[in-house]
Amino acid sequence: MTNPKLDAHLTEHFIRREERLSGSYLHVVRDTVTLPDSSTATREFIVHPGAVAVIPLMDDGRVVMVRQYRHPVGQVLLELPAGKRDPNEPVLACAMRELQEETGYTAGQWARLGGFHNAAAYSTETMEIWVARELRAGPSRLDEGEFVEVAEVPLEALLEQLQQGQMPDMKTALALLWLARWRASAWPLDWQTITPLD
């Protein structure tokens, strides 16, 4: 998106980095940058490995969702299966792993929907969103201390919940609206055939 010449009047330049927090989950740094007017400023943000969310689409049009308690927002959210990437883990491998761990499903076909920054002001995170179909059920493999409930829900019911304000997870809301455009034959997807993991 950035054109180095055309965007010189907007672009900041890195000077130095200071470690702020190396936590049990979050890594926070504070960078000093040069602003376009040559003054300096600091930018404090999370260094994040990136994440993947999956829209698991059943043959009958239902979507495999997960319900889980999210302590920072104090409620159970209905979300797409998703998770952080392991170090150096390829995006599709992460998508396949998270789908199987959280729901038990494996998928024969995959298509990439896009990559999105969910908190560009304070996190390096990119959330990749993929669609999976030709699903095959199997046992889930939740980590210890992970409590997730699987629910297969028709897309129309999910969209109705979204419209009514009952689908507050942002990646899920975005992904469902995009899927609806694909289903309306407006936006094509580029499917890859994958041999499911055993």
Exposure letters 67-78 (e unless 16+ CB within 10 A, then b): ebeeeeeeeeeb
125 labelled catalytic: no
Which two three-digit tokens encode residue 160? 């109705």
Please state the φ and ψ torsions of residue 46, each to the nearest 5 degrees.
-90, 135
99/64 Cα distance (integer angstroms)? 9
Taking the complex as a whole, the smallest distance from the CB of residue 21 to a copy of itself amounts, in Å, to 5
Closer to a copy of itself by CB, 61 or 69: give it.
69
Q: Does 45 bind a copy of itself (CB under 8 A)?
A: yes
Task: Pick the binder of a copy of itself from 17, 61, 73, 141 (CB under 8 A).
Answer: 73
Q: Which of residues 145-174 bind a copy of itself (CB under 8 A)?
A: 145, 147-149, 162-163, 165-166, 168-171, 173-174
- 54 contacts 132 by C-beta, under 8 angstroms: yes
Interface residue with a copy of itself, options 114, 154, 156, 192 (CB under 8 A) = 114
Q: Identify the residue whose tokens are 């109705």.
A: 160
| 67 binding a copy of itself? (CB under 8 A) | yes
Considering only residues 6 to 35 of the shown chain, the ones binding a copy of itself according to CB under 8 A are 7, 9-12, 14, 20-21, 23-26, 28, 30-31, 33, 35
User: Do 63 and 129 contact (CB within 8 A), yes or no?
Assistant: no
In the bound state with a copy of itself, the residue whose beta carbon lies nearer, of 23 and 87, is: 23
> Which is the catalytic residue, given 79, 144, 149, 156?
144
d(CA 32, CA 53): 32
Catalytic residues: 144
